[in-house]
Structure 1
Amino acid sequence: MTATATQTFTVIGLTLDVDSTELLIAAVLPGPVADQIELLATSEDDFTRWAEEFDAPDPDSAAALAYEHCRSWGDEF
């Protein structure tokens, strides 16, 4: 069995402000570019703009990790 290579992906989206456990993903970009993304001042009433990096074998896995991160992070409140 071969090991799946991982790479860094940057997930960009919106989190729901009510409890921060819901994430709406806008894009999954290859590479560690979260530091280069300038999140504009939010104008949404119920959402916060969000970007985070995840190591995963593919973009879909990075998105799944982002969903899980937001669900577990929101549980802390």
Structure 2
Amino acid sequence: MNAAAEQTYTVVGLLLDVDCTELIIAAVLPGPVAEQIEMLATSEDDFTRWAEEFHAPTPDAAAALAYEHCRTSLDEE
């Protein structure tokens, strides 16, 4: 079985402000478009709008990488 080729996906969602480790994913878009995403100017009480690019074979794998990135990023700071 051949492994799927990796592509760039942009994951867009909301990051919980309490501990910055919980991500609610709104969309996984094909391509490196995080720089082009315009976050809305309105504020949220408990969340920060978030977009990041990941290299993965599928959109589901990119979403899993995003969850893992958010869970471990607090440990690295």
Q: Using structure 1 for the length normalisation, give the TM-score.
A: 0.92
Equivalent pairs, count:
77
After TM superposition, what 4+ stretches of structure 1 lie above 4 angstroms from structure 2? none
> C-alpha distance in 2, partners of 1:16/1:42?
16
CA deviations over 1:14-70 (Å, ceiling 9, x no partner) = 000011000000000000000100112242111000000000000000000000000
Q: Give the CA RMSD over aligned residues.
A: 1.2
CA distance in 2, matches of 1:5, 1:29: 16
1:39 aligned partner, one-letter code: M
TM-superposed CA distance for 1:4, in Å, is 2.1
Taking structure 1 as reference, are residues 66 and 42 closer, same or farther at Cα in structure 2, changes over 3 Å only? farther
Q: For 1:71 and 1:59, how far apart are their aligned partners in 2?
A: 19
User: TM-score by structure 2 length?
Assistant: 0.92
State which drifts further: 38-47 or 54-63: 38-47
Partner secondary structure for residue 76 of structure 2: coil
Which residue of structure 2 aligns with residue 22 of structure 1?
22
The residue that corresponds to 1:58 in the other structure is 58
Structure 2 gaps, min length 5 = none
Alpha carbons 1:10, 1:31 under 8 Å: kept: yes
Paired AA for residue 28 in structure 2: V
Write the distance in 2 (CA, Å) between the matches of 1:47 and 1:75: 19
